[in-house]
Amino acid sequence: MIPKHSHVFLNMWSVCMDPRVWENPSEFRPDWFLKDNAENFDYIGNNFQFPPFGSGRRVCPGLPLAERMVMYLLATLLHSFELRLPKGEAVDLSEKFGILMRKSTPSIATPYQRFRSCNI
């Protein structure tokens, strides 16, 4: 029983890192979300196919915008810039536990413009 007026914290990190649900949960594998037709995700119902954005009545209101714009923004940045790490530094993908998912060792990449006439 959860007492009335209680604040409940849902630990999304543990949900997304549960080895009973995800095979090798610490690996980045976008195909987990593309198994079924990704265009037919039901974010409004109770199908929790994309847990970081919630579902049902509490779904993230910015989801439709993010769904349409993130790929265009990312493609533009990757096309216009080359990202380089400092010499001798490797990318460390280990995470630090908390309310927000953060890397335990932040990477600082320097963007170098690919084209002289870039309007970004």
Residue 76 lies in a domain: no
Place of tokens 């198994």: 35
**If pLDDT is split at 50, 70 and 90, which confidence band does 118 have?**
low
Residue 74 lies in a domain: no
Q: Which DSSP symbol is given to 22?
A: S
Residue 49 lies in a domain: yes
Count of domains observed in the chain: 1
Cα separation, 38 vs 31, in Å, equals 10
Tell me if 60 is assigned to a ligand binding site.
yes
The 10s digit of each residue's pLDDT in 60-96 is 788 778 778 888 888 898 889 998 988 888 888 888 8
pTM of the entire structure?
Answer: 0.41
Residue 37 lies in a domain: yes
Domain enclosing residue 18, as ranges: 8-60
Residue 32 lies in a domain: yes
Q: For residue 42, how far is the Cα from the chain centroid?
A: 18
Place of tokens 């009973």: 20
Residue 46 lies in a domain: yes
Cβ contacts of 115 within 8 Å, gap of 6 or more = 80
